[in-house]
Structure 1
Amino acid sequence: MKINRQRAISKINFFSSEGIPFLFIIDFQGDNCIVEPLSDINHTEIKYWINGINNISSHTTQIVKSPADIVLEKHPITFVQYKEAFDYVQQNIIQGNSFLTNLTCETPIRLNLNLLDVFELSQAKYKLWVKDSFVCFSPEIFIQIDETGKLSSFPMKGTIDASLPEAEEKLMKDEKEFYEHTTIVDLIRNDVSSVADKVWVEKFRYTDKIRTQDGRELLQLSSQISALLPDNWRDNLGEILFGMLPAGSISGAPKQKTLQIIKNAEQNTYLSTLGKTNERGFYTGIFGVFNGKTLDSGVMIRFIEQYPDGNLTFKSGGGITSNSLAEKEYEEMIQKIYVPIV
């Protein structure tokens, strides 16, 4: 079922130009892709929920749990191990090789739910389950395209515990968060301008609230960048999607140099801690649905992967700038390990 980049572009262009509804799943590198008509998706192998568009035929979870019943044990890498990768990233930023780098980590977890349970019980705009592989429950939009060809992207950068006194004001006034968010907005504007005409920032720095399984609330900071696509955008939808990958919010700027920094930092971290080379795989890739007229898609953050031996790992991270503090970024990485079941 998995295909390469060029085959994926061809299939996307064909389905969209013919008005055939389809699902697409693209990994972080853009090298492994799934592109299939909605009518061909086997719901016993893949389930999706994309802003209400879904292939959920029935509720199959056998044990319906309340948030209080959910046990999520986190076993993150140590701060010393995290700081090794953090220092490498920040050194490159100081040297001018990057302005912003998204550093992610892999945290082994124990959870008294299986991947399908998480898919069915979690509350998120974008959900995806691939049997015996991973589950994603993402709050972040990648792009949306309406019938007129208006493209909108919604980069998400900035997180804070909503229970803190004056949490939203603190988030808005945090200089590091402002710089990080502004950098991502500028990067996304550049990405969008490569595939679209008139580009503008429609909304700048607004907050959404997310509830976690342990009763906490998180505030997430987003912006909206919009643009107008050419009239024939459905004939070239594959090039449009791949022309914007990987998503700026989970890579950084400038993109190509930053991707090499990410590869070195993340793989070196895991070579020393897990004894293997870590690759993001489908984590921080994108997935979405073209319904025959419009497109909606999400970024694959909030991601649990299952290894062949059945062990689970949660992948999370955040943006690093010259003003970032290692202790704060480490805590944010751990804070993002949750399942949104309320």
Structure 2
Amino acid sequence: MKNYENIINLSDKLKTQLQNYSQNIQNIIQFLEDHFQNKFLMHFQIHNCEGYEYPINNNFNATNIYPNNLINIYDKAGDCISLRFFCNINIIYSKKNHVEFCNQLKKKNNSPLFFMTPYLDSYNEELSYIIEPKFEIKAKITKDNVILQFINYHEKESFFNSYIEKIKFLFHNPLTISTHKKSKSSFAFKIPKNIVNIIDKVKKNLNKGDCYLVNITTTETVSRENKFISSQDFFNSWIHIFSRFGIYFKDQTNALASFSPERFICMSQGVIATEPIKGTLKSKESKPKLVDAHKIWSIEKEIYEHTLVVDLMRNDLYEVCMPESVTVFRPFYARISGSLIQMQSFILGKLKKEENLATCLEKMLPAGSITGTPKKRVCEIIAHLEQNTRGYYTGVCGILEVNGDFDSTILIRSVYLGERGLYFGVGAGITTLSETQLEFEEFEIKLSSFLPVLEEILS
């Protein structure tokens, strides 16, 4: 139990440190908003795996022992929060052609690329994006200090240097930003009741043997206006939600504000990992305890659902990895996400030499944790039953580094602005063990996790 407490204390220290420097960070965001408007984007990540290990034994084809090849991706001494601000950005690709999108990612780049693509290109109305920054500001927050770093990719040197000095001054001399009190929102969205009927239809497919797991969703438009949360309000919301990923992008037509807890795939030094999440439980405490982990592990449906996704994602990794290298690490890990416990497993392998981000996206999208298994049949069922296309919801976004390493996030717990207006989505995994009412309640739990953000936008 002592190890668990140490992990929790470290996470609390990171959050406190983030809050201590929140005014400094707000100053930077305000400065970028004033000078670049829609020509900057933000990518935040909490590098801290807080939760409880499932007590596995020798009967499992998995391990809780830290594999040597994980050090490339997970540095146990690297608990921190990274804040990346991509500045003076240039949208180098924005089309609806997924094949062309992947081909563009294969081209060599001399600066990091931010990418975003919707759930499924074949019937989707949203654009895929590739975005290149001219320079970057990094802030690394540890439990002891904050480190600022400035990287010039292809900005004019004089322009870049002048901005460095201004940002350093703002960071070390925080100014109080005046805020206006927002009127209370009348927004009161509820999960549509017809999702119950859709869940029952999915269960019929399951009982006929068409599939084993279907991740069904409802995607709802809440406003037709071109109104979106500001970068300042997004940062304040992210501090409150404290999600693993925080991603903000806005141009003239499309926007993303993501508070996702789930990584899709990442790769470092030839080792690729995917981290599917399946199984959610809300704790009665503000922060889940070990007893909550044992509770979710005791639910047969949650273990079954998670096992199916792990098997699916392991199969997907076989498409891009050397087969003998694929390993399951920390199965059924009970990760803490706010007041929620979410089961997550780590699956990793050695990437084949001919594979890269683009080929992985070609072979592995859409992500298994938000579709189901078998993937092809499940996608057909989803297209038939879901009343609205998902758009960016359950798509992916991430960063392709100059050296070819990459990281990506599944777009859940997010709000989007696209051709349909302002929208969001909520989903749940359905198996033969699912109880319809409990699945409906899971929809409501997930909605409540970012409902304050919707209220903020619409106030």
Shorter chain as denominator, the TM-score bin is 0.7 to 0.9
Amino acid at match of 2:284: S
Alignment of 1:315 onto 2:425: yes
Offset of residue 113 of structure 1: 8.3
- 1:53, 1:13 → 2: CA distance? 28
Q: Deviations over 1:305-330 (max 9, x none)?
A: 346796x4431111000110111111
CA 1:237–1:306 in structure 2 vs 1: closer, same or farther (change >3 Å)? closer
- 1:126 pairs, out of 207, 230, 245, with 245
- 2:365, 2:149 → 1: CA distance? 23
- 2:435 pairs, out of 325, 328, 331, with 325
CA 1:320–1:285 in structure 2 vs 1: closer, same or farther (change >3 Å)? same
Give the conservation status (yes or no) of the 8 Å contact 2:393–2:424.
no
> In structure 2, what is the equivalent of residue 27 of structure 1?
118
Give the conservation status (yes or no) of the 8 Å contact 2:111–2:401.
yes
- 2:204, 2:309 → 1: CA distance? 20
Amino acid at match of 2:103: S
Offset of residue 117 of structure 1: 4.8
| SS of match in other structure, 2:280 | strand
Q: Deviations over 1:286-339 (max 9, x none)?
A: 1110121221111000022346796x4431111000110111111110111123
Larger Cα-atom Rg: 2
> In structure 2, what is the equivalent of residue 206 of structure 1?
333
| SS of match in other structure, 2:341 | strand
Offset of residue 61 of structure 1: 8.6
Offset of residue 163 of structure 1: 1.5
> In structure 1, what is the equivalent of residue 407 of structure 2?
296
> In structure 1, what is the equivalent of residue 299 of structure 2?
174
- 1:99, 1:24 → 2: CA distance? 31
Offset of residue 206 of structure 1: 0.6
| SS of match in other structure, 1:103 | strand
Offset of residue 127 of structure 1: 2.6
Offset of residue 2 of structure 1: 1.8
CA 1:21–1:134 in structure 2 vs 1: closer, same or farther (change >3 Å)? closer
Offset of residue 124 of structure 1: 2.5
| SS of match in other structure, 1:88 | helix
Amino acid at match of 2:337: I
Alignment of 1:255 onto 2:255: no
Mapping 1:1-20, distance limit 5 Å: 1-3=93-95, 4-15=97-108, 18=109, 20=111
Q: Bigger CA drift: 29-38 or 188-197?
A: 29-38
CA 1:106–1:7 in structure 2 vs 1: closer, same or farther (change >3 Å)? closer
Alignment of 1:156 onto 2:312: no
> In structure 1, what is the equivalent of residue 17 of structure 2?
none
> In structure 2, what is the equivalent of residue 281 of structure 1?
391
| Equivalences, count | 308
CA 1:153–1:53 in structure 2 vs 1: closer, same or farther (change >3 Å)? farther
Give the conservation status (yes or no) of the 8 Å contact 1:107–1:315.
yes
Give the conservation status (yes or no) of the 8 Å contact 2:414–2:450.
no
Segments of structure 2 that go 5 or more residues without pairing to the other structure are 1-92, 141-147, 152-166, 454-459
CA 1:288–1:282 in structure 2 vs 1: closer, same or farther (change >3 Å)? same
Mapping 1:236-251, distance limit 5 Å: 236-251=356-371
Give the conservation status (yes or no) of the 8 Å contact 2:191–2:443.
no
- 2:235, 2:204 → 1: CA distance? 42
CA 1:61–1:130 in structure 2 vs 1: closer, same or farther (change >3 Å)? farther
Give the conservation status (yes or no) of the 8 Å contact 1:143–1:151.
yes
- 2:343, 2:184 → 1: CA distance? 27
> In structure 2, what is the equivalent of residue 135 of structure 1?
257
CA 1:309–1:21 in structure 2 vs 1: closer, same or farther (change >3 Å)? closer
- 1:61, 1:151 → 2: CA distance? 42
CA 1:113–1:229 in structure 2 vs 1: closer, same or farther (change >3 Å)? closer
Alignment of 1:37 onto 2:158: no
Alignment of 1:82 onto 2:195: yes
Q: Bigger CA drift: 98-107 or 179-188?
A: 98-107
RMSD (Å), alpha carbons: 3.5
* Higher normalized contact order (CA 8 Å, seq sep 6+, divided by chain length): 1
- 2:329, 2:368 → 1: CA distance? 18
- 1:2, 1:282 → 2: CA distance? 13
> In structure 2, what is the equivalent of residue 220 of structure 1?
342
| SS of match in other structure, 1:152 | strand
Mapping 1:103-118, distance limit 5 Å: 103-106=216-219, 114=229, 116-117=231-232
- 2:382, 2:230 → 1: CA distance? 27
Q: Deviations over 1:226-284 (max 9, x none)?
A: 01012343xx43111221100000000000110011111112xxxxxxxxxx1101110
Amino acid at match of 1:75: F
Amino acid at match of 1:11: Q
Offset of residue 340 of structure 1: 9.2
| TM value normalised by structure 2 | 0.60
- 2:206, 2:261 → 1: CA distance? 28
CA 1:109–1:61 in structure 2 vs 1: closer, same or farther (change >3 Å)? farther
Give the conservation status (yes or no) of the 8 Å contact 1:76–1:108.
no
> In structure 2, what is the equivalent of residue 271 of structure 1?
none
